[in-house]
Amino acid sequence: MINSELIQIANNLFCIKSIEMDNNTYLLVKNGQCIIIDPSFNFESIDHFLTKKNLKLVGIILTHCHYDHSWAVSALEKKYACPIYAHEFDKSTYLKYDCSQWIQKSVPKIKKINWIHEVDLTISDFNLQIVLTPGHTSGSICVNYNNYLFTGDTLFTNGIGRFDFPNSSFHDLKKSLDFIYKKYPPKTLILPGHGDWNNLKFIRKVL
Ligand SMILES: [Zn+2]
Q: Which H or E run contains 38?
A: none
Tens digits of pLDDT across the chain (207 residues): 558 899 999 999 999 998 878 999 999 999 999 999 999 999 999 999 999 999 999 999 999 999 999 999 999 999 999 999 999 999 999 999 999 988 888 889 999 999 999 789 999 999 999 999 999 999 999 999 999 999 999 999 999 999 999 999 999 999 999 999 999 999 999 999 999 999 999 999 888
- pLDDT digits 0-9 by tens, 51-72: 999 999 999 999 999 999 999 9
Name 36's Cβ contacts closer than 8 Å, sequence gap at least 6. 25, 26, 27, 28, 46, 57, 59, 60, 61, 76
Question: What's the rounded Cα separation, in Å, for the pair 54 and 67?
Answer: 28
Q: Which residues have a beta carbon within 5 Å of ligand 1, which is an ion?
A: 66, 153
DSSP at 64: S
Helix, strand, or coil (residue 105): coil
Name 143's Cβ contacts closer than 8 Å, sequence gap at least 6. 37, 61, 63, 128, 129, 130, 131, 149, 150
Spacing, Cα 137 to ligand 1 middle (Å): 7
- pLDDT digits 0-9 by tens, 96-107: 999 998 888 888
Closest CA to 156 of 140, 138, 171: 140
Spacing, Cα 198 to ligand 1 middle (Å): 19
pLDDT at 151: 98
Spacing, Cα 93 to ligand 1 middle (Å): 9
pLDDT at 3: 81
Q: Which amino acid is at 192?
A: P
Number of C-alpha atoms within 13 angstroms, CB side, residue 17? Answer: 14
Under a CB-based contact definition with an 8 Å cutoff, are residues 119 and 130 in contact?
A: yes
Per-position b or e across 107-127, b if 16+ CB within 10 A of its CB: beebeebeebeeeebebbebe
Spacing, Cα 168 to ligand 1 middle (Å): 10
Spacing, Cα 47 to ligand 1 middle (Å): 23
pLDDT at 2: 56
Q: Where are the alpha helices (DSSP H) in the chain?
A: 43-52, 67-70, 73-80, 91-95, 170-183, 200-206
Q: Where are the beta strands (DSSP E) in 83-164?
A: 84-87, 114-116, 120-123, 126-132, 141-145, 148-152, 155-156, 159-160
Spacing, Cα 136 to ligand 1 middle (Å): 7
CATH number at residue 151: 3.60.15.10
State how many domains the chain has. Answer: 1
Name 146's Cβ contacts closer than 8 Å, sequence gap at least 6. none
Spacing, Cα 143 to ligand 1 middle (Å): 15
Under a CB-based contact definition with an 8 Å cutoff, are residues 143 and 77 in contact?
A: no
pLDDT at 34: 98
pLDDT at 9: 98
Spacing, Cα 31 to ligand 1 middle (Å): 31
Its domain, for residue 88, covers 4-206
Mode of pairing for the β-strands spanning 114-116 and 120-123 = unpaired
